[in-house]
Structure 1
Amino acid sequence: MRTRIITGVVAGAAFIGLLLLGGYAYSALIALMALIGYDELVRMNKMKRFGAAALCGYAGLVLVLAPSFDLGSKWTEVVTQERLVWFLLFALLAVTVFSKNKTTIDQAAYLFLGTIYLGIGFFYMMETRVEGEHGLFWTLFVFLAIWASDAGAYFTGSLIGKAKLWTLTKLWPAISPNKTVEGAVGGILLAVVVAISFHFAKPELVSLGHAIALGVVIAIVGTLGDLMQSAYKRVKGVKDSGTLLPGHGGILDRTDSWLIVFPFLHLIGLL
């Protein structure tokens, strides 16, 4: 527990510091996290980290993230998302041919999915921060609501369990045995409280109704993002995606909710 707390405080302080600083410092941190997360995916699937297929994925990931570094309109005209997705698919399928199926179609599909999953997720973390003059406000809003949801779920479940008020109802025991319905409700409530505090801090930026809606959606979608990765790790037979953060696991273990929440909010128009 001591190691977990120390790691959380140090890593959290460094992350928040670069988030507040913004600009290329924050974008570079997110890009680095994306690359480490992709490396964790490759290793969880027991593939060669620097094989041809994995290198295609690394390159695709960098290209997905590149627009956030403001490389100019010419770049975005040439490297469109449609072209990028197709050429990544083409490259990975070509590897299966040239490797004579040493890289299987299943592995190619896995790397393709991983590149899109991580690329789009981390891209929107970067975009939220650099978008407009209120990027810091919205980025802090989303991150703090996610963290509040996690904390609310953990402490609600723990308190009810220790007090033995009633038998906790498992949320999805086949995938994540420790998550409970009561914890999920506690997470939603605390995320909404945090969201409302942002409304009172800047009512001109977010209405009360919008803030409440964001809090609820962030908590629910964040929990689903957590379950998605738990399901994957269960299939792969691993507890943690990596060991980079002592007591916390890998990058993917810490960002599972982020990777789903940020693009979801943008793509449905809530941010």
Structure 2
Amino acid sequence: MLKYRLLSAFVLIPVVIAALFWLPPMGFAVVTLVVCMLAAWEWGQLCGLSSRAQRVGLAVLCGLLLALMLFILPDYQRTIELPMVQVALWASLAWWCGALLLVLFYPASANFWRHSRVLRLIFGVLTIVPFFWGMVALRSWHYESSQYSGSLWLLYVMFLVWGADSGAYIFGKLFGKHKLAPKVSPGKTWQGFIGGLLTSAVIAWLFGIWADLNVTPGVLLACSVVAALASVLGDLTESMFKREAGIKDSGHLIPGHGGVLDRIDSLTAAVPVFACLLLLVFRIL
């Protein structure tokens, strides 16, 4: 299993970085749209859509919705100024605050949504659509003056998330004793959680030295800490939904890693939350 995980990582990471820096905003948006369609396909299983036709329909509907929203965009260089993008990012911030409560009070909180397919579909929309717009908004940030400015910001967030995930895994294996959320994800520990945050902090510091992100240290620290915490929440939230659905992995598209949602669950929270804080709360425009 570890061999497949490493091989997949060695293939996927260069592909993701190439897409960030080589594709223009429209091309990057289309690739992200495809990823979101695959995530919607897998979310169908989490919300109780048992038939393949229903899940395909959900993926197609998600793709059509995002494509329609892309089609009516007047200017990719100022994506964050569009009301529908701002609404999506604010909605994401609200949703992840709500998701925190669902995770903290699980399994009692599941009584609220366990038997409602509609609610689980809404949760999926609040997870996938803001993630899409967070990716697009950050990628197109200051594109008119620097083609790679937004790419650096997205790479920064991804490094934060990868650092938190890898650090949590290593520290959890070495020192893990106290369970972080045993009713949601028994394998996660407080030692791994703290180790992941420390790893993210080191990566953020090193990345800040290497790349000129043009933002005050205080704002960068606040956005980074919240994004790293959100990444953990995204992972726990998907684990909660998978536990209710009785499945271990959201899919089997990526050898050794499970499904697309299993790989982007942390990013679905970290990216829109980071974009909302950076571009709407602190107004780094």
- TM-score range, shorter-chain basis? 0.7 to 0.9
Checking the alignment, whether the CA contact within 8 Å between 2:40 and 2:62 is kept in structure 1 is no
CA distance in 2, matches of 1:64, 1:231: 26
| SS class of match (2:116) | helix
Checking the alignment, whether the CA contact within 8 Å between 1:129 and 1:138 is kept in structure 2 is yes
**Aligned counterparts, 1:81-92, within 5 A:** 81=84
CA distance in 2, matches of 1:253, 1:178: 15
- The structure with the largest alpha-carbon Rg is 1
| SS class of match (1:242) | coil
The partner residue of 2:49 within 34, 46, 50 is: 46
Structure 1 residues 106-141: Cα deviation after superposition (integer angstroms, max 9, x where no partner) = 333332332232111122112211221320121111
Give 5+ residue unaligned stretches, structure 2: 89-114
**Aligned counterparts, 1:1-271, within 5 A:** 1-23=2-24, 24-44=26-46, 45-51=48-54, 55=57, 58-64=60-66, 66-68=68-70, 71-72=73-74, 81=84, 106-132=116-142, 133=146, 134-161=149-176, 168-203=177-212, 205-268=214-277, 269=281
| SS class of match (1:8) | helix
Checking the alignment, whether the CA contact within 8 Å between 1:145 and 1:195 is kept in structure 2 is yes
CA distance in 2, matches of 1:262, 1:140: 10
Evaluate the alpha carbon distance shift between residue 66 and residue 123 of structure 1 in structure 2; reply closer, same or farther with a 3 A threshold.
farther
Structure 1 residues 37-74: Cα deviation after superposition (integer angstroms, max 9, x where no partner) = 101111342344444x974674355434654567426x
CA distance in 2, matches of 1:16, 1:204: 17
CA distance in 2, matches of 1:204, 1:233: 37
Structure 1 residues 113-172: Cα deviation after superposition (integer angstroms, max 9, x where no partner) = 3223211112211221122132012111101111011111111122225xxxxxx11111
Question: After alignment, is 4-13 or 231-240 more displaced?
Answer: 4-13
Q: Which has the higher contact order (CA 8 A, sep 6+)?
A: 2
| SS class of match (2:180) | strand
Give 5+ residue unaligned stretches, structure 1: 86-104, 162-167
CA distance in 2, matches of 1:8, 1:175: 26
Checking the alignment, whether the CA contact within 8 Å between 2:45 and 2:245 is kept in structure 1 is no
CA distance in 2, matches of 1:54, 1:204: 40
**TM-score normalized by structure 2?**
0.74
CA distance in 1, matches of 2:264, 2:36: 10
What's the RMSD between the two structures over aligned residues?
Answer: 2.9
Evaluate the alpha carbon distance shift between residue 80 and residue 63 of structure 1 in structure 2; reply closer, same or farther with a 3 A threshold.
farther
What is the letter of the counterpart of residue 250 of structure 1? G
CA distance in 2, matches of 1:192, 1:70: 38
Evaluate the alpha carbon distance shift between residue 69 and residue 201 of structure 1 in structure 2; reply closer, same or farther with a 3 A threshold.
farther
Structure 1 residues 67-121: Cα deviation after superposition (integer angstroms, max 9, x where no partner) = 4567426xx9xx9749x99xxxxxxxxxxxxxxxxxxx93333323322321111
| Aligned residues between the structures | 240
